[in-house]
Amino acid sequence: MIIDHHPFEVNAAGHLMIGGVDSLTLAEKYGTPLYVYDVGIIRKNARSFVQTFKDLDVQAKVAYASKAFSSIAMVQVAKQEGLCLDVVSEGELYTALQAGFPTERIHLHGNNKSREELKMAVDENIGCIVIDNLYEIQLLEEILREENKTIDVLIRVTPGIESNTHQYIMTGNEDSKFGFNLINGQADEAFQLLHNHGHIQLKGLHCHIGSQIFETEGFMVAVNLLFDQLEKWLDQVDFVPEVLNLGGGYGIRYTEEDEPLAYHIYAEKIVAAVRENSERLNISLPEIWIEPGRSIVGNAGVSLYTIGSSKEIPNIRNYVSVDGGMADNIRPALYEAQYEAVLANKATEEPTTTVSIAGKACESGDMLIWDLPLPEVQPGDVLAVLATGAYGFSMASNYNRLAKPAVVFVEDGMDRLVVRRESVEDIVKNDLSYE
Ligand SMILES: *Cc1c(COP(=O)(O)O)cnc(C)c1O
């Protein structure tokens, strides 16, 4: 059964339970479309990374990539779990500050950080800036000189390897808008500028090879390539990295076909590769940082929708429409992302029909799931799309002037609204009249 691939229970009435609460109760109380997170699963995911490094007795930082899902409540959970936090914009940084996240545990990313973003990062004394390009170095130097401050940085490098995943979300290959190329000397140019810099403290290297990765090979290759470069800098100028950041990308299960590795396996393999290389170079083990996003929140999230109209095209397809779609979850339209779903009120009933789930936006491409096996579907049934916790709400838009859904956190049988549903007033709140 579909529900067996996902970390959720079904109660005696056949209703999908999330964090100990009946999903139908949530749909009724908060309305749909609704994003619901089982916070217990978020914590479990975070702890499986953190605990593995502890067990291996290595210095490590697990930074939650908040672009996967950022809100004040989510950032607070990351804080409670002792994670660091990756932010990539003024908005994500501001969210972290509003959440009371310790600034020394915040890391700033981005391939086009603005002067304002860099200044905000410096003013707030965040823990680290991951340097992406030469222009940014120039901006950062100016800000630090003006303010007579220093800041820790990593150099982001693109190791020129391909990870085995969908090309639209691949960022570690050579032809990438991110980071400094290791092969053509750009990384070396950045290093020459930054090591022994008066205001910029170079701590080490960063790389992020891709997303939704189901094997560890790519991380091993990346570590080896980073160390090939580090060996040169060690020989040339005695540079010893304090930090190596291997990024995120740990795969999760969306559908039955996905076979994710247990998270501790990624951590163990990365530690083994860094350890081996450090011994080879005879340097002490650098601190290991990772940046999971999807693997922290993805499988903890469920989207609830109410079924409305349907359209049967004999011998072709049955379309069933829901009250949300590409505006609250762009992933299927953007990169053909696949999801599984159940009827929340008939979660253990055997499928008797196959339907395709259409969103309500005026786009033929607004389809959430093609050919989904379901029990008999009635208007008013609640559809629960599973594993929507990452890059769902965070990529939501107001296309068709649809209001963004509410977000609810559930933990230990208690539900709590953490992002209010947008209203039509919110939709026009920045519009100005022209008459
Ligand atoms: C997106 C991103 C992550 C998180 O990736 P996931 O696939 O969600 O784990 C980590 N680091 C960087 C630099 C990223 O751009």
The CATH number linked to 212 is 3.20.20.10
Copy the structure tokens of residue 292: 């999971």
Q: What residue spans of 100-216 are helical by DSSP H?
A: 115-123, 134-147, 186-194
- Asked whether residue 18 carries a pLDDT value surpassing 80, the answer given is yes
Annotated active-site residue in 84, 128, 207, 362: 362
With a 6 Å cutoff on the Cβ, whether 109 touches ligand 1 is yes
* Percent of the chain topping pLDDT 70: 97
Query: Is 266 inside a domain boundary?
Result: yes
Distance 141 CA to ligand 1 centre (A): 26
- Do 282 and 340 lie in a common domain? no
- Asked whether residue 265 carries a pLDDT value surpassing 70, the answer given is yes
From 291, 295, 296, give the residue whose CB has the most ligand 1 atoms within 8 Å, as the site to mutate.
291
pLDDT bin (cut points 50, 70, 90) of residue 183 is confident
In tens, the pLDDT along 338-383 reads 999 999 999 999 999 999 999 999 999 999 999 999 999 999 999 9
The mean pLDDT value of the chain amounts to 96
Calpha distance 78→42 (Å, rounded): 9
Calpha distance 62→52 (Å, rounded): 11
Query: Is 236 inside a domain boundary?
Result: yes
Average pLDDT over residues 55-72: 98
Distance 68 CA to ligand 1 centre (A): 8
DSSP 90: H
Distance 321 CA to ligand 1 centre (A): 32
- Asked whether residue 414 carries a pLDDT value surpassing 60, the answer given is yes
Specify whether 84 is catalytic. Answer: no
From 42, 66, 67, give the residue whose CB has the most ligand 1 atoms within 8 Å, as the site to mutate.
67
Query: Is 242 inside a domain boundary?
Result: yes
Query: Is 23 inside a domain boundary?
Result: yes
From 42, 64, 83, 86, give the residue whose CB has the most ligand 1 atoms within 8 Å, as the site to mutate.
86
- Asked whether residue 385 carries a pLDDT value surpassing 90, the answer given is yes
Judging by beta carbons within 10 Å of its beta carbon (0-12, 13-18, 19+), is residue 423 exposed, middle or buried?
exposed
Calpha distance 33→361 (Å, rounded): 13
- Do 29 and 117 lie in a common domain? no
With a 6 Å cutoff on the Cβ, whether 172 touches ligand 1 is no
Q: Among 267, 292, 317, give the residue marking a domain's end.
A: 292
In tens, the pLDDT along 305-320 reads 999 999 999 999 999 9
Calpha distance 5→256 (Å, rounded): 6
Mapped onto helix, strand or coil, the DSSP state of residue 290 is: strand
Average pLDDT over residues 71-82: 99
Calpha distance 63→199 (Å, rounded): 24
Instruction: Answer yes or no: are the C-beta atoms of 252 and 294 closer than 8 Å.
Output: yes
From 84, 113, 208, give the residue whose CB has the most ligand 1 atoms within 8 Å, as the site to mutate.
208
Instruction: Answer yes or no: are the C-beta atoms of 155 and 131 closer than 8 Å.
Output: yes
Average pLDDT over residues 313-336: 97
Count CB atoms within 10 A of the CB of residue 1: 12
DSSP 251: -
Count CB atoms within 10 A of the CB of residue 413: 9
- Asked whether residue 171 carries a pLDDT value surpassing 60, the answer given is no
Picking from 16-25, 32-41, 181-190, 406-415, which range would have the lowest pLDDT averaged per residue? 181-190
Calpha distance 50→29 (Å, rounded): 35
- Do 139 and 248 lie in a common domain? yes
Copy the structure tokens of residue 5: 């691939």
Distance 83 CA to ligand 1 centre (A): 15
Q: What pLDDT was estimated at residue 372?
A: 97
Q: What pLDDT was estimated at residue 172?
A: 54
pLDDT bin (cut points 50, 70, 90) of residue 165 is low
In tens, the pLDDT along 2-12 reads 899 899 999 99
- Do 266 and 162 lie in a common domain? yes
Assess whether the previous peptide bond of 33 is cis (omega < 30° from 0).
Answer: yes
Distance 208 CA to ligand 1 centre (A): 7
Residue 249 Cα: closest atom of ligand 1: 7
Residue 280 structural domain = 109-292
- Do 345 and 274 lie in a common domain? no
- Do 302 and 176 lie in a common domain? no
The CA-atom distances, in angstroms, between 291 and each of 66, 246, 391 are 9, 7, 15
Q: Among 259, 292, 325, give the residue marking a domain's end.
A: 292
* Percent of the chain topping pLDDT 90: 93
Query: Is 433 inside a domain boundary?
Result: no
With a 6 Å cutoff on the Cβ, whether 392 touches ligand 1 is no
Residue 109 Cα: closest atom of ligand 1: 13
- Do 398 and 257 lie in a common domain? no
Average pLDDT over residues 113-137: 98
What total number of domains does the chain contain? Answer: 2
With a 6 Å cutoff on the Cβ, whether 375 touches ligand 1 is no
- Asked whether residue 203 carries a pLDDT value surpassing 80, the answer given is yes
Compute φ and ψ for 89, nearest 5 degrees: -160, 165
**Beta strand 341-343 pairing with 84-87:** unpaired
Distance 100 CA to ligand 1 centre (A): 22
- Asked whether residue 167 carries a pLDDT value surpassing 80, the answer given is no
Radius of gyration of the CA atoms of the chain, in A: 23
Calpha distance 19→3 (Å, rounded): 15
Q: What pLDDT was estimated at residue 411?
A: 98
Average pLDDT over residues 92-102: 98
With a 6 Å cutoff on the Cβ, whether 248 touches ligand 1 is yes
Q: What pLDDT was estimated at residue 166?
A: 47
Calpha distance 311→181 (Å, rounded): 51
Q: Among 276, 292, 308, give the residue marking a domain's end.
A: 292
With a 6 Å cutoff on the Cβ, whether 210 touches ligand 1 is no
- Alpha carbon dihedral 125, 126, 127, 129, in 10-degree steps, equals -110
Please give the annotated binding residues for substrate, written as ranges: 294, 331, 335, 363, 391
Calpha distance 130→110 (Å, rounded): 8
**Hey, what long-range contacts does 274-278 have (CB within 8 A, 24 or more apart)?**
274/223, 274/244, 275/58, 277/223, 277/224, 277/227, 278/227
With a 6 Å cutoff on the Cβ, whether 65 touches ligand 1 is yes
pLDDT bin (cut points 50, 70, 90) of residue 160 is confident
- Asked whether residue 298 carries a pLDDT value surpassing 90, the answer given is yes
User: What CATH number is given to the structural domain containing 326?
Assistant: 2.40.37.10
Instruction: Answer yes or no: are the C-beta atoms of 229 and 157 closer than 8 Å.
Output: yes
Distance 294 CA to ligand 1 centre (A): 8
Q: What pLDDT was estimated at residue 173?
A: 60
pLDDT bin (cut points 50, 70, 90) of residue 169 is very low
- Asked whether residue 168 carries a pLDDT value surpassing 50, the answer given is no
In tens, the pLDDT along 207-250 reads 999 999 999 999 999 999 999 999 999 999 999 999 999 999 99
Please give the annotated binding residues for pyridoxal 5'-phosphate, written as ranges: 249, 291-294, 391
- Do 265 and 339 lie in a common domain? no
- Do 116 and 255 lie in a common domain? yes
**pTM surpassing 0.95?**
yes
Calpha distance 369→362 (Å, rounded): 16
